[in-house]
Chains A and B, each alone.
Chain A
Amino acid sequence: MNCEVCDRIKNKKGIVYSTEKISVMIPENAFTPGHLIVLPNEHFPILEAVPDKIISEMFTAANKVGVAVFEALGAQGTNILIQNGTAAGQEKPHVILHVIPRKENDGLNLQWAPKQMNEEEMSTIELKIKDQVGSVGIIEEEKKEPVEEKEVEEVKEDYLTKSLERIP
């Protein structure tokens, strides 16, 4: 597999912390000073392919990285950002969670212009989503046999990547 993020993890380039499952790393292009990224050590192209256990560990680590940058840099805030899919600005085919330290007037603008939606449009979307949340909140059992795990993950990944623009 040709993934430069996997290569960086393998070569331990820019890693400030790691466990068996995740790494905290200095990004190649920092948005602000102290910007760090949290990522799974294993190659997952999109968020939906990452097992629950690893997602949980990524968010826990991101929270602690946030505390560390408050402390070490006197940051006035942090942004957590995952760009999931090229339509969302994902540049590398490896899931990355950004922890971005913020200060007033640091020149970074991550805001969006709100869209106007009427009651009917909102209700239509509400119902569509509600109809599909049956499996939300159910945490995956940790799979014990690594061979089986691989097969299951691949099937899931294929199905999901179809709905996303292919990442080069």
Chain B
Amino acid sequence: MEELTPEQQAQMRQQCIFCQIADGKVAAKKVYEDDKVLAVLDINPANPGHILLLPKEHIAIMPQMDDELIGYMGIVSKQLSQVLLRTLQAQGTTIFVANGVAAGQRAPHFMIHIIPRMEGDDAGLKPLEKKYSEEQILQIHQGVYEAIKRVLGDAIPPEKQPINLDQKETPKEEKPGTKEPGKKETPKESKKKASPLDDVSKFLTGQ
């Protein structure tokens, strides 16, 4: 990712409401803060007690986060979820992230929503019913496998290679000549090279 000049960084922080909150220049109901993250109450809550957990650094989308920070934010999300169960007698919590406008992201600063839930509340987040057949899903996933292996591969110690499920999931394709006519070919691996994350982020947040 291209390094921003200190001037550009300062400008970015001035234009971002959540950076302004982190810097104490805009008031918010802060419920937790340390040197890396900040948790505030959402002013438009899905339910009372809806928390937004953000990195203090200006980070637009999740893929720009390093492993340590996203892992830490996962841990803090769990801990805040536990606090909501205990203090507000919530019966459950929804942990939610929207990366990109298409996913519902509204501000160009990464955040994790932690929403207290009660049985029968109207906090929504009910996904659609299944629209795709298992076959369709498996075909789509063939392309994803390769990318997963490429992106996650580094994280696996040599003795723990990823499990190649291609054969297990599509036994039909093992035998030549048994392919049904007209059946869609496995989608080829995307030719597109990974775009630099800053471009992705600009695209996703419309910035």
Chain A interface residues toward B at CB < 8 A: 12-20, 24, 26, 29-31, 33-36, 47-48, 50, 52, 55-90, 97, 100, 102-104, 106-115, 117, 121-123, 125-126, 128-133, 135-137, 139, 160, 163-165
Assess whether A83 is in contact with B78, with CB atoms less than 8 Å apart. Answer: no
Assess whether A110 is in contact with B148, with CB atoms less than 8 Å apart. Answer: no
Interface size class of B (residues with CB under 8 A): 35 or more
Assess whether A84 is in contact with B71, with CB atoms less than 8 Å apart. Answer: no
Return chain B residues, CB-CB under 8 Å to A79. 96-99, 103-104
Nearest neighbor of A36 in chain B, beta-carbon distance: B144
Given A16-B141, A88-B94, A125-B41, A81 and B125 contact (CB-CB distance below 8 Å): yes
Excluding A48-B85, A72-B190, A110-B124, 14 further A-B contacts by CB distance (< 8 Å) are: A26-B137, A71-B190, A72-B143, A73-B140, A78-B100, A78-B103, A102-B103, A106-B102, A109-B128, A112-B46, A112-B123, A133-B80, A136-B83, A163-B85
Interface 9-mer from B1-9, B10-18, B29-37, B172-180: B29-37
Assess whether A86 is in contact with B141, with CB atoms less than 8 Å apart. Answer: no
B204 at the interface (CB under 8 A from A): yes
**Main DSSP-derived SS at the B contact region:** mixed
Assess whether A121 is in contact with B204, with CB atoms less than 8 Å apart. Answer: no
Given A59-B74, A113-B122, A122-B41, A107 and B102 contact (CB-CB distance below 8 Å): no
Among the interface residues B31, B118, B162, which one has the most CB atoms of the partner chain A within 10 A?
B31
Assess whether A77 is in contact with B78, with CB atoms less than 8 Å apart. Answer: no
Across the interface, A47 reaches (CB within 8 A) one of B72, B95, B120, B190, namely B95
A64-B122 Cα distance, complex, nearest whole Å: 32
Return chain B residues, CB-CB under 8 Å to A84. 81, 92-95, 117
Return chain A residues, CB-CB under 8 Å to B47. 115
Assess whether B78 is in contact with A52, with CB atoms less than 8 Å apart. Answer: yes
Return chain A residues, CB-CB under 8 Å to B30. 126
Return chain B residues, CB-CB under 8 Å to A90. 92
A129-B49 Cα distance, complex, nearest whole Å: 8
List 26 A–B pairs whose Cβ atoms lie within 8 Å, in order of A's numbering.
A17-B163, A36-B148, A56-B71, A59-B73, A69-B147, A71-B147, A72-B146, A72-B147, A76-B203, A77-B98, A77-B105, A78-B100, A79-B99, A81-B94, A82-B93, A86-B91, A87-B119, A102-B103, A102-B104, A103-B102, A115-B47, A117-B45, A129-B51, A133-B80, A136-B39, A137-B34
